[in-house]
Amino acid sequence: SQMIFLMRCCRVELIDWIAKQILADEAAGKDRMYVVVFLPRKTEQCMERLNRKSIRANVKVVECAIHFFPFDRDILSMEA
Protein backbone atom coordinates (compact mmCIF):
# COMPACT_ATOMS: atom_id res chain seq x y z
CA SER A 1 0.00 0.00 0.00
CA GLN A 2 0.97 3.64 -0.31
CA MET A 3 0.49 6.73 1.85
CA ILE A 4 0.78 10.18 0.33
CA PHE A 5 1.31 13.33 2.39
CA LEU A 6 0.58 16.72 0.79
CA MET A 7 2.54 19.41 2.59
CA ARG A 8 3.00 23.12 2.14
CA CYS A 9 6.70 23.88 2.56
CA CYS A 10 6.01 26.70 5.02
CA ARG A 11 4.74 24.21 7.66
CA VAL A 12 8.04 22.60 8.69
CA GLU A 13 6.58 21.30 11.96
CA LEU A 14 4.42 18.86 9.97
CA ILE A 15 7.57 16.82 9.25
CA ASP A 16 7.47 15.67 12.88
CA TRP A 17 3.90 14.44 12.45
CA ILE A 18 4.80 12.63 9.22
CA ALA A 19 7.81 10.99 10.89
CA LYS A 20 5.67 9.89 13.83
CA GLN A 21 3.13 8.28 11.47
CA ILE A 22 5.80 6.44 9.47
CA LEU A 23 7.63 5.19 12.57
CA ALA A 24 4.32 3.99 14.08
CA ASP A 25 3.52 2.09 10.88
CA GLU A 26 6.97 0.50 10.87
CA ALA A 27 6.57 -0.53 14.52
CA ALA A 28 3.22 -2.12 13.62
CA GLY A 29 4.91 -4.04 10.80
CA LYS A 30 3.05 -2.27 7.98
CA ASP A 31 4.81 -2.45 4.63
CA ARG A 32 4.04 0.81 2.87
CA MET A 33 5.59 3.19 0.42
CA TYR A 34 5.48 6.82 1.58
CA VAL A 35 5.43 9.87 -0.66
CA VAL A 36 5.77 13.42 0.65
CA VAL A 37 4.59 15.98 -1.89
CA PHE A 38 5.85 19.48 -1.14
CA LEU A 39 3.73 22.35 -2.43
CA PRO A 40 5.01 24.40 -4.21
CA ARG A 41 8.60 23.22 -3.57
CA LYS A 42 10.74 21.49 -0.98
CA THR A 43 12.96 23.55 1.27
CA GLU A 44 16.29 22.88 2.95
CA GLN A 45 14.61 23.17 6.36
CA CYS A 46 12.16 20.39 5.51
CA MET A 47 14.86 18.13 4.07
CA GLU A 48 17.12 18.68 7.11
CA ARG A 49 14.28 17.79 9.46
CA LEU A 50 13.55 14.63 7.45
CA ASN A 51 17.21 13.66 7.69
CA ARG A 52 17.23 14.25 11.47
CA LYS A 53 14.26 11.90 11.85
CA SER A 54 16.14 9.18 9.95
CA ILE A 55 13.14 8.37 7.77
CA ARG A 56 14.24 9.73 4.41
CA ALA A 57 15.24 6.24 3.19
CA ASN A 58 11.59 5.18 3.48
CA VAL A 59 10.16 8.27 1.84
CA LYS A 60 9.98 9.45 -1.75
CA VAL A 61 10.09 13.25 -1.90
CA VAL A 62 8.29 15.04 -4.74
CA GLU A 63 7.83 18.70 -5.57
CA CYS A 64 4.60 19.94 -7.10
CA ALA A 65 4.85 23.52 -8.31
CA ILE A 66 1.27 24.58 -7.68
CA HIS A 67 1.08 28.27 -6.91
CA PHE A 68 -2.14 29.93 -5.83
CA PHE A 69 -2.70 33.61 -6.49
CA PRO A 70 -5.25 35.37 -4.27
CA PHE A 71 -7.38 37.87 -6.16
CA ASP A 72 -9.71 38.56 -3.28
CA ARG A 73 -10.32 37.21 0.21
CA ASP A 74 -12.46 34.37 -1.14
CA ILE A 75 -11.05 33.83 -4.66
CA LEU A 76 -7.93 31.85 -5.57
CA SER A 77 -6.54 31.26 -9.03
CA MET A 78 -3.86 28.93 -10.37
CA GLU A 79 -3.36 30.99 -13.53
CA ALA A 80 -0.01 32.63 -14.08
CA atoms of 35 and 22, how far apart (whole Å): 11
Write out pLDDT tens, residues 26-77: 889 888 899 999 888 888 998 898 888 877 667 899 998 876 656 666 666 6
pTM for the model stands at 0.74
Closest of 16, 18, 17, 20 to residue 3, by C-alpha: 18
User: For strand 75-77 and strand 69-72, is the pairing parallel, antiparallel, or unpaired?
Assistant: antiparallel
Identify whether the C-beta of residue 60 lies closer than 8 Å to the C-beta of residue 36. Answer: yes
pLDDT for 35 = 94
pLDDT for 10 = 74
pLDDT for 66 = 76
Identify whether the C-beta of residue 68 lies closer than 8 Å to the C-beta of residue 60. Answer: no
The SS3 of residue 22 is helix
pLDDT for 71 = 62
